[in-house]
Amino acid sequence: MRGNLLGMLTALACGALGVGTADAADKVTLQLKWVTQAQFAGYYVAKDKGFYEAEDLDVTINPGGPDIAPPQVIAGGGADVIVDWMPSALASREKGVPLVNIAQPFKRSGMMLTCRKETGIRTPADLAGKTLGVWFYGNEYPFLSWMAKLGIPTDGSARGVKVLKQGFNVDPLLQKQADCISTMTYNEYWQVIDAGLKPDDLVVFKYEDQGVATLEDGLYVLESRLEDPKFVDTMARFVKASMQGWEWARQHPDEAAAIVLDNDATGAQTEKHQKRMMGEINKLTEGSTGRLDEADYERTVKTLLAGGSDPVITKTPQGAWTHAVVDAAKL
């Protein structure tokens, strides 16, 4: 009897030990560039549909906002990986925050300049003498490069353009404070439409079409962490699951928009806007496996180096991207 009791106690102890030492899922904190919206649907889908869990990951997604700079967050240890635009990431790298692009879910840029047709603007040459709303904080460099390419000064002179520092709204166009404003294909352009203007009232210039687009919404980590094989493996599983999320979002756009809405703690987003945004975002991620295209990277760097008298970067970056993670993920 004693032997049986001892055996039972041993089995129970071993069982308890097994439970206590079971491998916990690897924790990953993702910092988004902006607030919860369909721009980041792939990550929310991957979490909601269990793609991260299937890769043994416990992922926390932190929304951004106007007062949140992802490079500062990751530099301070507040995130393992961030979503950022390449101009911001390369500028941060040159200033001492060694960010490295590990994956590029967005293949195309959504940035545009949206103008009132009544101003007489039909071609880029017609921009001379006009007032243009431009986003700053690193978002101005594709615009400055474009103006440099066109030979149009940004000093407000008669043959140049007057640059209006634009906030994150479309008021300057609606109130006719600017002839054109910066918009994204998936967001601010539709805010203009919802405000009452019709597509026929507008002329748009997509940065992609002008040859000055820069890469947006890439995934970045700190360079030093890539020296750890375990971290590379964790990121490989994270990127693999995230790209599954983006693929699912392309196949189920309305359901993906609903998942985004479920994760919007502010309640500020609407179903109509998120469904529309999801459709536009899917156009930007279509065709991407997550692997950064070197030609797209080189174009971005060239655009940034040509950004007028105050370029976002002063020299060609070294070590600013790697395929090590997507290779490990077999993407």
Query: Does the structure show a pLDDT above 80 at 29?
Result: yes
pLDDT at 309: 66
pLDDT at 48: 98
pLDDT band at 184 (very low <50, low <70, confident <90, very high): very high
**Region 171-192: what's the mean pLDDT?**
97
Q: Which residues contact 195 (CB under 8 A, 6 or more apart)?
A: 170, 174
**Region 73-80: what's the mean pLDDT?**
98
Local structure of residue 226 (DSSP, 8 states): G
Secondary structure (DSSP) of 115-180: EEGGGT--SGGGGTT-EEEE--TTTTHHHHHHHHHHT--SS--TTS-EEEE--SSSHHHHTTS-SE
pLDDT band at 307 (very low <50, low <70, confident <90, very high): low
* CATH superfamily name and code, 26-108+215-328: Periplasmic binding protein-like II (3.40.190.10)
Please report where in the chains the tokens 């020299």 appear, as a residue.
315
Specify the amino acid at residue 328.
A
Coil, strand or helix at 114: strand
Query: Does the structure show a pLDDT above 50 at 100?
Result: yes
pLDDT band at 158 (very low <50, low <70, confident <90, very high): confident
Rounded alpha-carbon distances, angstroms, from residue 102 to 28, 67, 298, 305, 320: 15, 25, 16, 22, 9
% of the chain with per-residue pLDDT over 90: 82
pLDDT band at 266 (very low <50, low <70, confident <90, very high): very high
Provide the CATH topology of domain 111-210: D-Maltodextrin-Binding Protein; domain 2 (3.40.190)
Question: What pTM, to 2 d.p., does this model score?
Answer: 0.89
Q: pLDDT digit string (tens) for 43-72?
A: 999 999 999 999 999 999 999 998 899 999
pLDDT band at 20 (very low <50, low <70, confident <90, very high): very low
pLDDT at 138: 67
Local structure of residue 97 (DSSP, 8 states): -
pLDDT at 13: 45
d(CA 142, CA 139): 7
pLDDT at 194: 95
pLDDT band at 311 (very low <50, low <70, confident <90, very high): confident
d(CA 219, CA 241): 13
**Region 7-14: what's the mean pLDDT?**
45
**Region 192-214: what's the mean pLDDT?**
95
**Region 122-142: what's the mean pLDDT?**
89
On the question of a common fold for 26-108+215-328 and 111-210, the answer reads: yes
Please report where in the chains the tokens 């043994």 appear, as a residue.
56
Give the largest Cα separation in the chain, rounded. 101
What are the domain boundaries of the chain? 26-108+215-328, 111-210
